[in-house]
Amino acid sequence: MASKAFDVVVAGAGVIGLSIAYTLKGIEPSLRVAVLGDPMNSLMASRAAAGMLAPFGECRESDRFFQFCRESLDKYPGFIQDLVSVSERPIHFSMMGSIMPASSVGEQWEERLRFFREESIPHEVWTVEQARERAPYLAPECGEVIWVGEGQVNNRQMHDALATGSVYRGVQIINQHVTGFHRYSNRIQAAVTDAGEILGKQFVVAAGSWSQQIGKVLEVSMPLRPIKGQMCRVAVEDGRLDYTIHGMNTYIAPWREGNGFVVGSTMEDRGFNEMVEADVIQGLVDRAAKILPCLKEAPLIESWTGLRPAAEDLMPIMGASGRYENLFYSTGHFRNGILQTPHQADYMAACLLGTLKNPITEFSPDRYDL
Ligand SMILES: Cc1cc2nc3c(=O)[nH]c(=O)nc-3n(C[C@H](O)[C@H](O)[C@H](O)COP(=O)(O)OP(=O)(O)OC[C@H]3O[C@@H](n4cnc5c(N)ncnc54)[C@H](O)[C@@H]3O)c2cc1C
């Protein structure tokens, strides 16, 4: 069996695994870094997401999770600029913000505004007239809207750019899954794949929803499960909407550049279920069309399923293993992994290089004895 040797071996070729490899090589070009995993896995969350960078729409309290997401949003413009320049690939990225119509926010209107005020989150309340002027295709029933200053990225383009940029920086992407490990005492020596073994000094588990299966091979019990999301993309002309929309059980993300609008999404606890159900997709479009009526007749471009990696407490699992001296985790990014990518990559690179100053206890693998 062939074997290869690296300083760092990352299991998982989604945005999380690739961004760790990409960032590490940016800081320390002499490191030999490998990423294992299928970069085009059809269920992977990284290509299934809507690309909303939405700490303000998603979070309700100012806990460590919110702060981390917010810090990651702040890093986005620089991260994308660097990635486009290294990879020479285009990435659509917008900081036009999100809107929340009163018809969807309902009774939470005051509470939402209080949170935005207390946290000094950039926001505005648009009157019905202002909303009509700035987002003329919104349904009149939407009423007033709250605008918040957050972002959106084309996550597929970002994933492509991370793969290309990583390769340009010298990362080796090996399209093989980890099937086992060679261990000696509390040290991992090699990851085993069907194409041979990959020797490493440090290993990172960043395999999204499949991290739990890798945990099993390592004899750790990771409380992580896949939460299925069905979603679709419809053909709508650019210019119909400049903002992403957070609605009642629905969201709409314009991908622009002729790529139509993404409409999401379900949250289903059904294991590794890859089915895409036509009636569910129609339900998503119908709900979204109550906010943006032009979606009703928009031709369907594609529909899909992706799996969000969710830990029991819905927080990421990031940092050094307590069980193995050369093992690290970055998984459980659940609904916000695209948003968390840049900050997560810096955090994990610092972990691996031994320069991390303030480990976040809320995210620590220790909480699950990993
Ligand atoms: C429908 C949907 C909508 C979403 N929308 C948003 C959004 O708008 N904004 C946002 O911030 N986040 C969103 N998310 C969440 C975000 O997509 C995820 O948190 C993030 O992509 C997780 O990335 P990942 O790299 O950990 O996992 P994944 O992208 O799932 O990648 C896992 C990788 O692990 C590999 N792998 C599997 N098994 C093994 C093995 N044994 N060995 C090696 N590799 C293995 C796979 O091949 C794959 O490459 C959404 C997710 C879904 C599903």
Q: Same domain, yes or no, for 287 and 338?
A: no
Condensed to tens digits (0 to 9), the pLDDT of residues 192-211 reads 999 999 999 999 999 999 99
User: Ligand 1: distance of its center to the CA of 80 in Å?
Assistant: 19
Is residue 259 a part of any domain in this protein? yes
Whose structure tokens read 């290869």? 4
**Residue of the CA atom closest to atom 6 of ligand 1:** 49
Specify whether 198 is located in the same domain as 305.
Answer: no
Instruction: Give the distance (Å) from ligand 1 centre to CA of residue 215.
Output: 17
Supply the Cα-derived Rg of the chain in whole angstroms. Answer: 21
Ligand 1 centroid to residue 62 C-alpha, Å? 25
Nearest CA to ligand 1 atom 38: 210
**CATH number of the domain that residue 173 is part of:** 3.50.50.60
In a domain, 41, yes or no: yes
Q: Are strands 196-205 and 187-193 parallel, antiparallel or unpaired?
A: antiparallel
Q: Please give the residue range of the domain that contains residue 210.
A: 3-48+157-223+313-368
Domains contained in the chain, number:
2
Same domain assignment for residues 324 and 307 = no
The pTM of this model reads 0.97
Give the strand pairing for 317-320 and 250-254: unpaired
User: What is residue 223's predicted lDDT score, i.e. its pLDDT?
Assistant: 97
Nearest CA to ligand 1 atom 16: 337
Question: Which residue has the CA at smallest separation from atom 15 of ligand 1?
Answer: 335
Query: Which residue has 């479009």 as its token pair?
Result: 285
pLDDT under 70 in the chain at which residues?
A: 1-2
The predicted-structure confidence for 298-327, as pLDDT tens digits, reads as follows: 999 999 999 999 999 999 999 999 999 999
Is there a domain that residue 64 lies in?
Answer: no
Closest CA to 138 of 237, 234, 241: 241
Cα–Cα dist 261/221, whole Å: 39
CA pair distance 309, 52, nearest whole angstrom: 17
Q: Which residue has the tokens 């009423």?
A: 143
Q: Which atom of ligand 1 is nearest to the CA of 206?
A: 26
Indicate the top mutation candidate among 308, 343, 344 to test ligand 1's pocket, ranked by most ligand atoms within 8 A of CB: 308
Residue nearest to atom 30 of ligand 1 (CA): 44
Ligand 1 atom at shortest distance from the alpha carbon of 228: 53
Please give the distance of CA 358 from its chain centroid, rounded to a whole number: 23
Ligand 1 cavity residues, CB under 6 Å: 11-17, 36-39, 41, 44-46, 48-52, 177-178, 206-210, 214, 229, 231, 264-265, 306-309, 331, 333-339
Residue 85 lies in a domain: no
Answer yes or no: do 215 and 353 share one domain.
yes
105 and 136, same structural domain?
A: yes
**107: CA distance to ligand 1 center in Å?**
33
| Residue with CA nearest ligand 1 atom 40 | 177
Looking at the CA of residue 330, tell me the nearest atom of ligand 1. Answer: 26
What confidence score (pLDDT) does residue 62 get? 94
175 and 298 both lie in a single domain? no
pLDDT digits 0-9 by tens, 343-370: 999 999 999 999 999 999 999 999 999 9
Final residue in a domain of this structure, among 265, 289, 311 = 311
pLDDT value of residue 42: 72
For residue 177, which atom of ligand 1 is closest to its CA?
A: 42
